[in-house]
Amino acid sequence: MIRPVMNTTVWFWAIMLAAGTVVACGAGAWAYQLWYGIGVSGKRWPSFWALYLTNFVFWIGISHAGTLISAILRLVNAGWRRPVTRVAEVITVFALMIGAMFPIIHLGRPWLAFWLFPYPSDREIWPNFRSPLAWDFFAINTYLTGSVLFLLLPMIPDFALIRDKATGWRKKVYGSLALGWRGTTKQWNRLESAMQIMAIAILPVAVSVHTIVSFDFSMANVPMWHSTIFGPYFVAGAIFSGIAALIIAMAALRKALHLEQYLLPLHFENLGKLLLLMSILWGYFVFNERLTVWYGNEHHEMAVFWATQRGEYAPFYWTMVICNFVLPIALLSNPYTRNIIGCVVASLGVVVGMWLERFLIVVPSLSYKALPYSWGTYTPTPVELMIMAATFAAMILLYALFAKLVPIIAIWEMKAGDFVQAPRSGVGAGDPHRIAAAAEPSSPGAAS
């Protein structure tokens, strides 16, 4: 698990070069947009949100992969989650960072981005605290801060472990990051207490984030947006896409870093069952949403309804249904296909399907507003597509860089799991005092 930190392969530099090139092209596309104006993007009246806000909602949803899933599994003391937690938590932090950039990318004048931030205004004109956009700022920044803490706390013992195995500049750098960790009983108790507090605190924050993102839509009088179901619908979709992203990341790391003895088929099977459950729940919400619109039979909503069912957006809609519902149920309901390959294929389909779902929420509703004279069309431009591709490349770049600098699996949690499975006589399994004593260094200078 430490080998990738100590040794650098040619594949790492190849990934850095490829992903970095795409990110640089995306930065160039944004610079082009800044120079020539927002008109070079495909945003036209009436579809002013379009691809940028689609990706904003998509990445904020992907961020639920880590902290929410990791916190729930930690609180219920699911032993199989130990190799998975850090893999998931990293996705949360990077997805939030990428998603939070899109409101600024979306602006025609990003140097006025401070208008998005709630700050005391003497004129009391801006910000409007009744707007969900102001709530987004608080929710996303609170979630990002909590997620970073939730990721960094369990990294401290592993930093100390690398510090004691490294030499030269690595020893100094990781020694600073270890914050004086010595693996004493007092330190272990404080770490365990902090992790429990963070796991409890992060759950309501994670749920509130995507609920507030859904308010950006549901509080606007736009066809098929003004719905009371959007809160749980968005949260369920976020967890759904987050689990899929986690499975894909696990499979890639398992193959690239040779972690077959840690990321076992059991982990994929358990996450596959969760993905199957969320697929069924997602199907219920989509059916519920479409049924109420069809039953209401309002003219402006039916225009959006038929545009997605059998009109110009129908190919996207039915591809979404196949990717998010048909494919996961076909692969994951059968124990023979609920293996690593089946879970990865289903997860790839879900990531594509959930992106299409976000697109279908944003664009068709804006293209078919209440009055027919305000109807319009939207076609993305190469600038938007390049920036979108750059965000996916940035996720790969950041993830590969993290896996190079930090053990992607929490080593101390794996050790603690071994002691839980084979407890010492006279001490209960999972006792933090026993784990601390077993992991405590034999010499004052050694780390756990």
CA pair distance 5, 136, nearest whole angstrom:
36
CA pair distance 394, 26, nearest whole angstrom:
10
CA pair distance 106, 30, nearest whole angstrom:
10
What the block records as the tokens of 310 is 């059998």
Read out DSSP for 351-366? HHHHHHHHHHHHHHHH
Find the length of the chain: 448
Q: What HEC string does 128-150 produce? A: CCCCHHHHHHHHHHHHHHHHHHH
| Average pLDDT per block of 10 residues along the chain, 448 residues long | 85 93 95 91 84 92 79 80 88 92 88 76 68 82 90 90 87 89 89 88 86 88 87 91 93 91 91 94 93 88 91 94 95 92 95 94 86 80 94 94 90 70 41 42 39
Q: Are 239 and 92 spatial neighbours (Cβ–Cβ below 8 Å)?
A: no
Cα separations (Å) of 8 from 316, 358, 444?
Answer: 42, 38, 31
Note the pLDDT of residue 374: 74
Residues 6+ apart with CB under 8 A from 30: 105, 383, 387
Q: Are 328 and 271 spatial neighbours (Cβ–Cβ below 8 Å)?
A: no
CA pair distance 300, 176, nearest whole angstrom:
60
Burial (CB count <10 Å: 0-12, 13-18, 19+), residue 379: exposed
Closest by CA to 215, choosing from 65, 355, 57, is 57
Q: Are 253 and 74 spatial neighbours (Cβ–Cβ below 8 Å)?
A: no
Q: Are 393 and 19 spatial neighbours (Cβ–Cβ below 8 Å)?
A: yes
Note the pLDDT of residue 433: 41
To the nearest 10 degrees (0 to 180), the angle between helices 67-75 and 85-105 is 150
pTM, entire model: 0.87
Note the pLDDT of residue 123: 62
The strand pairing partners of 441, in sequence order, are none
Note the pLDDT of residue 448: 38
**What 3-state class would DSSP assign to 431?**
coil
Note the pLDDT of residue 428: 37
Residues 6+ apart with CB under 8 A from 133: 103, 116, 216
- Write down the architecture of domain 3-113+126-439 according to CATH: Up-down Bundle (1.20)
| Residue that is written with structure tokens 């940035």 in the block | 394
Q: Are 194 and 153 spatial neighbours (Cβ–Cβ below 8 Å)?
A: yes
Residue 175 Ramachandran class (φ > 0 left, ψ -120 to 50 alpha, else beta): alpha
**What 3-state class would DSSP assign to 101?**
helix
CA pair distance 195, 71, nearest whole angstrom:
9
Note the pLDDT of residue 58: 94
Q: How many CB atoms lie within 10 A of CB 417?
A: 18
What the block records as the tokens of 69 is 């899933």
